[in-house]
């Protein structure tokens, strides 16, 4: 009885409330914008639908994405984040195994299994190697949001790689044994273990994500990196001051590294959570980092409110064109830049 109330009452309510869509669809966009959107490779660097225990094969009226809505939004590649330090109640309410309730490692590996099961029972292609980027239909890449899920064991990296993870954030909301978080108590840089892990991640073809990383960890990773890095989802201080929005030197650092920054859609990322606010943040990032180093990082279903769900992405294409960007530049922003970076990092 209690589990039923949690699963079918509390969890949907919490999901609906905390993953709100400020302006529900359907959304209008011009024929020319839709044509460009459909022709482009569209990629989103970060979303968290795996967290909520929804059947992503079905179209839902709550939350911000699922496979039918990804298809309607013209998305070619979605990076699926795995949050691995989750309140136990959320895993209990979604009727996951008790082994996952209190251990970040088990929470992360359980979501990887669910992702694998989703791909086995839907047209979704999991991106494990470079060639998978060219598969037909919707593609999904699995990302770990915070390597605290390794629980301090560097040898666990291979286990997570085998489970399908091809992107990893060094930190999430807390410092860990490898790197500091911008939200952490100490906000320290890379530890000795962290410095050992960076080249091993690169060798395995895992893209390193600096979203949520402390400033010392951010710059320490840039010094070590030999492959392009990403900041999967966030904003820029030039349009929205905030503790983890990127400064101009950080934007230039990512550009020099050859990486890409994903601009988010929620209030603390862009301050103005609207199409106008998102486009303004993208334009500013381009003005500092250059057109080849900016992309999209929605954070859909990441406990944020967004101005549209994933079916509204053609509106963003139209807004970018209306801002004066060329069709070539819009194609880079929609996903061309992300594809280039992932192709450089993924194994053959």
Would you say residue 149 lies in a domain?
Answer: yes
Whether residue 24 is contained in a domain is answered as no
Quick one: DSSP state of residue 239?
A: T
In-domain check, residue 212: yes
**Could you tell me the CATH number of the domain that includes residue 172?**
3.20.20.140
Vertex 34 angle, CA 33 and 40, to 5°: 90
How confident is the model at residue 1, as a pLDDT? 62
pLDDT of residue 12: 82
Within-domain flag for 135: yes
> H or E element: which one contains 337?
helix 337-345
**Is residue 141, in this structure, part of any structural domain at all?**
yes
What kind and span of H or E run contains 162?
A: helix 156-162
- Assess if residue 94 is contained within a domain: yes
144, containing H or E segment? strand 139-145
Domain assignment of residue 23, yes or no: no
Backbone φ and ψ of 306, nearest 5°: -125, 155
pLDDT at 128: 98
Instruction: Give me the domain span that covers residue 239.
Output: 2-18+30-345
Beta bridge partners of 43: 77
Backbone angles phi, psi at 222, to 5 degrees: -60, -35
Assigned domain for 239 exists: yes
Q: Tell me, what's the pLDDT at 2?
A: 67
Spell out the per-residue pLDDT of the chain, length 348, in tens: 666 767 777 788 888 888 999 999 999 999 999 999 999 999 999 999 999 989 999 999 999 999 999 999 999 999 999 997 777 778 888 888 888 888 999 999 999 999 999 999 999 999 999 999 999 999 999 999 999 999 988 889 999 999 999 999 999 999 999 999 999 999 999 999 999 999 999 999 999 999 999 999 999 999 999 999 999 999 999 999 999 999 999 999 999 999 999 999 999 999 999 999 999 999 999 999 999 999 999 999 999 999 999 999 999 999 999 999 999 999 999 999 999 999 999 998
DSSP H/E element including 207 = strand 207-209
* Domains identified in the chain, total number: 1
| CA dist., res. 262 & res. 212, Å (int) | 13
pLDDT of residue 96: 87
256 Cβ contact partners less than 8 Å away, ≥ 6 residues apart: none
List the structure tokens of 155: 């040898």
């Amino acid at each position: 009885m209690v589990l039923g109330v949690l699963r079918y009452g509390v969890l949907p309510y919490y999901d609906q409330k905390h993953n709100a869509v400020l302006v529900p669809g359907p959304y209008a966009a011009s024929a020319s914008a839709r044509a460009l959107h459909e022709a482009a490779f569209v990629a989103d660097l970060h979303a968290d639908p795996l967290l909520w225990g929804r059947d992503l094969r079905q179209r839902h009226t709550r939350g911000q994405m699922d496979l039918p809505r990804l298809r309607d939004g013209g998305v070619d590649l979605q990076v699926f984040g795995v949050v691995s330090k989750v309140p136990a109640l959320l895993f209990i309410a979604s009727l996951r195994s008790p082994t996952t309730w209190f251990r970040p490692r088990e929470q992360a590996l359980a979501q990887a299994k669910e992702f694998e099961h989703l791909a086995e029972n839907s047209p979704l292609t999991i991106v494990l190697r470079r060639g998978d980027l060219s598969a037909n239909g919707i593609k999904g890449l699995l990302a770990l949001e915070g390597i605290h899920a390794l629980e301090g064991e560097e040898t666990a990296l291979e286990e997570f790689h085998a489970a399908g993870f091809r992107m990893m954030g060094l930190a999430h909301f807390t410092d860990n044994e490898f790197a500091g978080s911008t939200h952490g108590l100490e906000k320290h840089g890379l530890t000795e273990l962290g410095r050992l892990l960076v080249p091993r991640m690169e060798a395995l073809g895992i893209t390193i994500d600096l979203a949520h990383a402390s400033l010392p960890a951010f710059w320490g990773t840039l010094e070590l990196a030999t492959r392009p890095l990403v900041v999967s989802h966030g904003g820029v201080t030039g349009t929205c001051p905030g503790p983890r929005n990127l400064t101009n030197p950080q934007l230039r650092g990512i550009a020099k590294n050859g990486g890409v920054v994903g601009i988010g859609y929620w209030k603390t990322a862009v301050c103005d959570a609207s199409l106008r606010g998102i486009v303004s943040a993208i334009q500013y990032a381009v003005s500092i980092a250059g057109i080849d180093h900016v992309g999209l990082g929605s954070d859909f279903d990441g406990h944020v409110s967004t101005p549209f769900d994933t079916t509204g992405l053609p509106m963003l294409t139209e807004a970018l064109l209306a801002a004066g960007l060329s069709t070539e530049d819009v194609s880079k922003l929609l996903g061309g830049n992300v594809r280039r970076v992932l192709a450089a990092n993924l194994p053959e």
